[in-house]
Structure 1
């Protein structure tokens, strides 16, 4: 027996998740009468990590709401900047987002990254244990209930990915303070302290160094510094409020 029919309007920002036949205007959907609205929305393809509010007949409801016949449902995107209460803002990225991970670390954002495919259950468990926001393009991963929090990465281009994450979460930016290889904190180092990592040309040409307190990797303003500096300057220009603590000396 058919269950109640409801009418769902998905916000334009979220329609990329929905089958093409349901992307325009309001779509009618027959439910089973027992599934929650959250389950119904996810069955359309929209991860709940991307949903800011579910509005039924003009009032906001929880994902646990069970739809009734004739209800008008509006699925809205998350508000920006998105607040993640309960823990300091930290990220976890899956194996496909290595460039984004390095760029977030370059900006001083606490970013864990799995360089191998450890599987969705392990990623979700780490997100929960360490209270990190899971960033991924894997919709199935973002639907796992054990996640602490999650967000879909909409673009495949690293520049756009970085812009989107900074716009969505507005993290405090502290450029040049984290190791891009392991996420550890950087500290000043003398040339003698990192001499075993330097080739002859570097030994002669550079005098200012930093070293990761976690993995020991040495850093200096080498051949790629201008490219990295450009990434930092663009981020600070577009998101100056995210750098408030650094400018204030905090």
Structure 2
């Protein structure tokens, strides 16, 4: 590019997306004179899903703005909690975020998850069709134009991933109301109704059951319940909701 030169700064939390030579402070950037700010920001590696307010010479500007010579551009991170207007808050997670999907479902958050690699075009189209926020660590996927909305998952550790999503999007928590396997709704179930899924020890020791209204999977407070309770209690304590 050999057009106007601008001075561009990105927020500290966005610098992980930017080449190392441009991570510190203000950077001189030569544009082509016709590309929008949105294109310029993405060309640096920053998905627009992660860009919040954009200031040009201190005044808020749209991503459609075409920068001119000498402008000072500042790209801020998204505000938290981030508002996603236009539809109920629902998520779509890619194939690499299965543990995060199960934990969101444990908390009653609507989290669709594709356990097979559909490919970026199909995932982006599904996000748009069902109006779901796409969660991914794939920067290329988050730059696809057809996405309805998206969010980069900054950590590769499930505990940190969950905290990041809950802090950023502030979904309403309703623990123990969704199937962690398929995202369906849970309903109370009689032992007789789920007996074919129970081993003898479970039949003998447990009397309270729930069943997924979508896939039929049975749930009870088994050996792993205390670990799940710890996840739920921590999330509810920090982000609100009902633990029981």
Aligned to 1:9: 9
Aligned to 2:120: 120
Q: Root-mean-square deviation (CA), in Å? A: 0.9
Aligned to 1:190: 190
For 1:77 and 1:16, how far apart are their aligned partners in 2? 12
Aligned to 1:74: 74
1:1-250 matches, within 5 Å, as: 2-240=2-240, 243=241
TM-aligned CA deviation for residue 4 of structure 1: 0.1
Matched residue of 1:38: which SS?
helix
Task: Give deviations 1:179-203, integer Å, cap 9, x for gaps.
Answer: 0000000000000000000000000
TM-aligned CA deviation for residue 150 of structure 1: 0.2
Matched residue of 1:172: which SS?
coil
For 1:2 and 1:48, how far apart are their aligned partners in 2? 24
Matched residue of 1:25: which SS?
coil
For 1:189 and 1:236, how far apart are their aligned partners in 2? 25
Task: Give deviations 1:128-151, integer Å, cap 9, x for gaps.
Answer: 000000000000000001001000
Stretches (4+) displaced over 2 A: none
Structure 1 spans left out of the alignment, 5+ residues: none
TM-aligned CA deviation for residue 2 of structure 1: 1.8
For 1:14 and 1:209, how far apart are their aligned partners in 2? 45
For 1:54 and 1:161, how far apart are their aligned partners in 2? 26
For 1:61 and 1:133, how far apart are their aligned partners in 2? 24
Structure 2 spans left out of the alignment, 5+ residues: none
For 1:181 and 1:80, how far apart are their aligned partners in 2? 29
For 1:7 and 1:38, how far apart are their aligned partners in 2? 15
TM-score between the two structures when normalised by the length of structure 1: 0.96
Matched residue of 2:234: which SS?
helix
TM-aligned CA deviation for residue 49 of structure 1: 0.1
TM-aligned CA deviation for residue 41 of structure 1: 0.4
